[in-house]
């Protein structure tokens, strides 16, 4: 069986999980422990980042390389269009999603995390004691921002720039999807799954799809995921999940958000 070495919360790993589910290829997830686990990964794959796909003796790091490998090895349900212009557009959109959209979504998510007490406490593991949740929720926003900047995660200007960039990205995605079911036409392609993966941080998929803290699943960044101007995009992404993402078989129920 295919093995996916991953971090559950990594957008590039979510992109690959979407690709594998679309192609209806069963796989086993192997959660990597940051640090120690990455050293092991380096020995096996020659680099330390996730995602890495193992297919027998074949080790494939990098989500884009994994997509190309999957199409070459398992050609059913192709990820790239045949038409030259559509194919070029698909590859360019994938690269844009992996770089600009992914990086800016992460900055926006970090900013929301430090500024909104609810988002901060939701990110804590389910087992966190109530007293610690209250303490984290009660931290003043300025202190949390300072903590964020001192860790080199965010600074005020990059956050504003990232927010504007993500808003424009969501606007362009809504426009691209207005008259078409998917980004490159009427069939899903690599571009759609890259965009869906990279926006994981803007609105976390439901618990029926991802193994993340219950308080985070289904939660969106306030001011983005609940903005009616971008509703068409989040509705489209929900449909993509309903149609193609495999539901977790270790939990039951239809109404888990």
Ligand X SMILES: N[C@@H](CCC(=O)N[C@@H](CS)C(=O)NCC(=O)O)C(=O)O
Binding region for ligand X (CB under 6 A): 7, 10, 12, 38, 48-51, 62-64, 98
Give least dist CB 67 to ligand X, A.
Answer: 9
What is the Cα–Cα distance from 34 to 6, expressed in whole angstroms? 10
Of the pair 16, 177, the CB lying nearest ligand X is at 16
Give least dist CB 170 to ligand X, A.
Answer: 21
Is-contact 17 28, C-beta < 8 A? Answer: no
What is the Cα–Cα distance from 215 to 113, expressed in whole angstroms? 13
Of the pair 62, 192, the CB lying nearest ligand X is at 62
Of the pair 48, 139, the CB lying nearest ligand X is at 48
DSSP string computed for 151-184: TTS--HHHHHHHHHHHHHHHHHHHHHHSSSSBTT
Give least dist CB 51 to ligand X, A.
Answer: 5
Q: How close are the terminal C-alpha atoms of the chain, in Å? A: 29
What is the Cα–Cα distance from 211 to 223, expressed in whole angstroms? 25
Burial of 134 (0-12, 13-18, 19+ CB in 10 A): exposed
Give least dist CB 226 to ligand X, A.
Answer: 25
Sequence-ordered strand ranges (E) for the chain? 2-6, 27-31, 52-55, 58-61
What is the Cα–Cα distance from 202 to 200, expressed in whole angstroms? 6
Of the pair 12, 241, the CB lying nearest ligand X is at 12
Phi-psi bin for 100: left (phi > 0), alpha (psi -120 to 50), beta? alpha
Of the pair 70, 177, the CB lying nearest ligand X is at 70
Give least dist CB 19 to ligand X, A.
Answer: 11
Give least dist CB 52 to ligand X, A.
Answer: 9
Give least dist CB 248 to ligand X, A.
Answer: 20
Of the pair 193, 230, the CB lying nearest ligand X is at 193
Query: Phi first, then psi: what are they for 60, rounded to 5°?
Result: -120, 105
Of the pair 21, 62, the CB lying nearest ligand X is at 62
Q: Structure tokens of 83?
A: 């038409």
What is the Cα–Cα distance from 132 to 230, expressed in whole angstroms? 34
């Amino acid at each position: 069986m295919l093995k996916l070495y991953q971090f559950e919360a990594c957008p590039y790993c979510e992109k690959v999980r979407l690709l594998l589910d679309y192609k209806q290829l069963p796989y086993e997830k192997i959660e990597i422990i940051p640090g120690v686990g990455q050293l092991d990964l380096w020995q096996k794959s020659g680099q330390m980042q996730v995602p890495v796909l193992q297919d027998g003796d074949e080790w494939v790091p990098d989500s884009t390389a994994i997509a190309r490998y999957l199409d070459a090895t398992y050609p059913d349900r192709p990820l790239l269009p045949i038409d030259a212009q559509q194919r070029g557009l698909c590859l360019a959109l994938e690269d844009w999603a992996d770089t600009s959209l992914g990086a800016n979504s992460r900055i926006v998510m970090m900013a929301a995390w430090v500024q909104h007490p609810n988002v901060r406490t939701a990110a804590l593991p389910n087992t966190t004691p109530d007293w610690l949740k209250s303490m984290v929720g009660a931290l003043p926003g300025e202190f949390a921002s300072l903590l964020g900047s001192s860790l080199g995660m965010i600074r005020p200007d990059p956050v504003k720039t990232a927010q504007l960039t993500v808003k424009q990205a969501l606007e362009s995605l809504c426009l691209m999807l207005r008259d078409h079911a998917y980004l490159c036409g009427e069939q899903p392609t690599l571009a759609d799954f890259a965009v869906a993966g990279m926006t994981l941080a803007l609105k976390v998929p439901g618990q029926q799809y991802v193994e993340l803290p219950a308080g985070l699943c289904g939660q969106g960044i306030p001011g983005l995921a609940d903005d009616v101007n971008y509703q068409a995009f989040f509705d489209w992404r929900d449909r993509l999940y309903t149609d193609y993402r495999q539901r977790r078989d270790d939990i039951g129920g239809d109404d888990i958000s």
